[in-house]
C-alpha cells in the first residue's frame, strides 16, 4: 500500500487512542519532519505534491539519526537512552520496505556494471535508480566496488 502523510497521521491517532507513548512520540516527530521537507521542497502546495519517495527519504534520514544516537549512547553507557532510541527506531523501520539480499542486489547491479560506464559517480547514480530504494547507498556502493574488482 502507498505510504502517505495521511496514513502516518492515521497511525498517530491510533497510537494516541491506544496510549502507545513511544509510537506516538516517534510519529509526531516524523510527521513534523515530513511536513518540514514538504514545505522546503514544494512551498505552499507542499502536501499535495509530497511523494511516497519524499516520505521514505525522510524516514530513512530519521532512522539513520537514531542509529547514530544509539552508537553514541552505547559508547557513553547510557542504556536507558539506547533503549528509547531503539524503540523509536523499530517504529520508523516498520514503515520502510525490507532491504533486499546481497544476491538480489548483485542481480540488479550486474547489468549496470555491464553498461561499460567507468565513472563511479555515474555508475552509482544508475545503480541507485535500478535499486529503487530497496537498499541503502552504502550497501550499493560496497557491492558495486566488489563487482568492479
Quick one: 131 exposed, middle or buried, by C-beta within 10 A (0-12, 13-18, 19+)? Answer: buried
pLDDT surpassing 80 at residue 106: yes
Confidence bin at 137 (pLDDT 50/70/90): confident
pLDDT, averaged across the chain: 88
Contact 88, 22 (CB under 8 A): yes
Query: Nearest to residue 69, comparing CAs of 84, 55, 57?
Result: 84
pTM value? 0.68
Task: Assign 3-state DSSP to the chain and report helix, strand, coil percentages, each to 5.
Answer: 80, 0, 20
CA 136/CA 115 separation, integer angstroms: 22
Ranked by mean pLDDT, which of 14-18, 61-65, 128-132 comes out on top? Answer: 14-18
Amino acid at each position: 500500500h502507498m505510504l502517505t502523510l495521511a496514513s502516518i497521521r492515521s497511525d498517530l491517532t491510533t497510537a494516541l487512542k491506544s496510549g502507545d507513548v513511544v509510537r506516538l512520540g516517534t510519529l509526531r516527530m516524523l510527521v513534523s519532519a515530513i511536513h518540514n521537507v514538504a514545505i522546503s521542497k514544494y512551498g505552499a502546495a507542499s502536501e499535495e505534491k509530497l511523494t511516497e519517495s519524499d516520505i521514505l527519504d525522510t524516514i530513512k534520514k530519521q532512522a539513520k539519526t537514531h542509529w547514530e544516537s544509539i552508537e553514541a549512547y552505547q559508547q557513553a553507557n547510557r542504556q536507558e537512552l539506547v533503549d528509547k532510541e531503539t524503540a523509536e527506531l523499530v517504529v520508523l523501520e516498520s514503515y520502510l520496505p525490507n532491504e533486499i539480499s546481497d544476491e538480489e542486489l548483485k542481480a540488479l547491479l550486474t547489468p549496470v556494471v555491464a553498461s561499460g560506464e567507468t565513472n563511479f559517480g555515474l555508475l552509482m547514480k544508475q545503480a541507485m535508480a535500478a535499486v529503487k530504494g530497496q537498499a541503502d547507498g552504502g550497501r550499493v556502493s560496497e557491492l558495486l566496488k566488489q563487482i568492479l574488482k
